[in-house]
Amino acid sequence: MIEVKIVGAGLAGCECALSLAKHGVKVKLFDMKPKKMSPAHHNTNFCELVCSNTLKSSSLEFAGGLLKEELSILDSEVLKSAKESAVGEGEALTVDRELFSQSVTKKILENKNITVVCEEVTKIDENELTVIATGPLTSDGLSKEIERLTGQELYFYDAIAPIVDAESINKEKTFVGDRWKDDGTDYVNCPLNEQEYKEFYDALVNAERVELKNFEQEKNFEGCLPVEVMAKRGFDVLRFGPMKPVGFKTQEKPYAVVQLRKENKIGSMLNLVGFQTNLKYAEQKRVFSLIPALKNAKFLRYGSMHRNSFINAPKFLTAQSNLKTHPNIFIAGQLSGVEGYTESIASGLLCAIFVLQYLGKMPKQKLSIKTCLGALSNYLVSANEVGFQPMHINWGLLAPINAPKDKKKEEMAKRAITEIKEFNKIWKD
């Protein structure tokens, strides 16, 4: 019996493993945890979320919401775990990181078709059917091996945001509410007046950063810029970004707002939304304490920078996510060039579909760009090779539709769901 080797037990790797196992395929899942941990990982369970704990909106008003609906129809096990560990009741699918990773790990360990091997993989056997899903934190050894297979350098940088103790913030200096919903309760908002913002801004742009070592230059991804890098682009950049003061129903309009989002179900930990950073720890304490509500905040985790990795997908991948030069080697998740948690889950499920088709266990029916899954897959092979960058799902990736402007998203969602339901008849078989 053919056994599929999956390297990496993150979102894509676990989804791919569970989806293949569900179809009777034997999987050997490799992960270097707990013997070896990346600089950004602290949890020994699989599917650890690093940068944030939100999978963003589930509303069909957003392409990301439609992607979740498509994954739900196709019975994504990782998405099920996310919903089971959800924090709050808003449209955003925000999860308790610990409960989420525990849930996925339990599913993996209890599955009779999945064998887990806890060791670092640094060599790929070109004769084995392999899925590489090691994500943005691919180890140095495996990175060199992938570079050997593709001939491409593999890195840029992401940053993660700090987390504070909810009990330590000054609640008198906050208000609860969503930017766009009158009854939203998932965010604690920390307003600043103009003078407070100026003091905070001046301190931020002049604060000391951690020096990156062992690399010649810093390569930032635009979708996850450190807050200090954003600030240096202009005085008002943050006020039009993570600190925008619009959409709130307050008597007095704030000049800028820092949002805190629940990090766990009980709300004892709060994440500084959009405040990914590479400032030195002491500087984070000094600068972020200038936010009035955080003056005496206790930091449970400081922000940090970590290396990210992806391949030039349009150059090296086929439409089935396998390498053009090595058809038995598939690439899934952020390593393939998708960006975001939900997108990584989607990539893992897509890769399972492609592997089943490769093995002749499923008809080679293609998901079209009328669906988010098809559109995401299509982007990887149709984007420009020059300057290729990872991409979140968005409406612009989907096929256009002839409908009134105010109905376009609704009609595109209906069209996609209809096609996914038809595809699901094959998928379930």
Structural domain ending residue among the three candidates 306, 326, 359: 306
Give the H/E segment covering residue 304. strand 304-309
Amino acid in the structure at residue 421 = K
Provide the 8-state DSSP code for 239: G
What are the pLDDT tens digits along the chain (429 aa)? 689 999 999 999 999 999 999 999 999 999 988 877 766 667 789 988 877 788 888 999 999 999 999 999 999 999 999 999 998 777 889 899 899 999 999 999 999 999 999 999 999 999 999 999 998 778 889 989 999 998 877 766 667 788 898 889 999 999 988 887 766 777 899 999 999 999 999 999 999 998 765 543 455 555 668 899 999 999 999 999 999 998 887 778 899 999 998 876 677 889 899 998 989 999 999 999 999 999 999 898 888 776 678 898 989 999 999 999 999 999 999 999 898 899 999 999 999 999 999 999 999 998 999 999 999 999 999 887 876 777 789 888 898 899 998 999 999 999 999 999 999 999 987
For 25, phi then psi, to 5°, come to -90, 135
CB atoms within 10 A of CB 319: 13
Tokens of 80: 């099920």
Q: Are residues 110 and 175 in the same domain?
A: no
Q: Are residues 274 and 339 in the same domain?
A: no
Structural domain ending residue among the three candidates 306, 332, 367: 306
Q: Are residues 146 and 27 in the same domain?
A: yes
Tokens 């301190």 -> residue: 203
Rounded Cα gap, residues 36 and 6, in angstroms = 17
CA-angle at 132, arms to 14 and 158, nearest 5°: 85
Q: Which residues contact 42 (CB under 8 A, 6 or more apart)?
A: 48
CA-angle at 4, arms to 2 and 312, nearest 5°: 135
Q: Are residues 181 and 273 in the same domain?
A: yes
Contact 14, 110 (CB under 8 A): no
Q: Whole-angstrom distance between the N-terminal and C-terminal Cα of the chain? A: 20
Q: Is the backbone of residue 371 left (phi > 0), alpha (psi -120 to 50) or beta? A: beta
Domain count, the chain: 2
Q: Are residues 210 and 287 in the same domain?
A: yes
Tokens 């339990």 -> residue: 106
Q: Are residues 167 and 250 in the same domain?
A: yes
**Residue 289's CATH number:** 2.40.30.260
Tokens of 208: 């000391």
Burial of 315 (0-12, 13-18, 19+ CB in 10 A): middle
Tell if the pTM clears 0.75, that is, is over it: no
Of the candidates 419, 328, 304, 426, the residue with the CA atom closest to the CA atom of residue 373? 419
Q: Which structural domain range is residue 185 located in? A: 160-306
pLDDT of residue 183: 67
Q: Are residues 299 and 322 in the same domain?
A: no
pLDDT of residue 52: 76
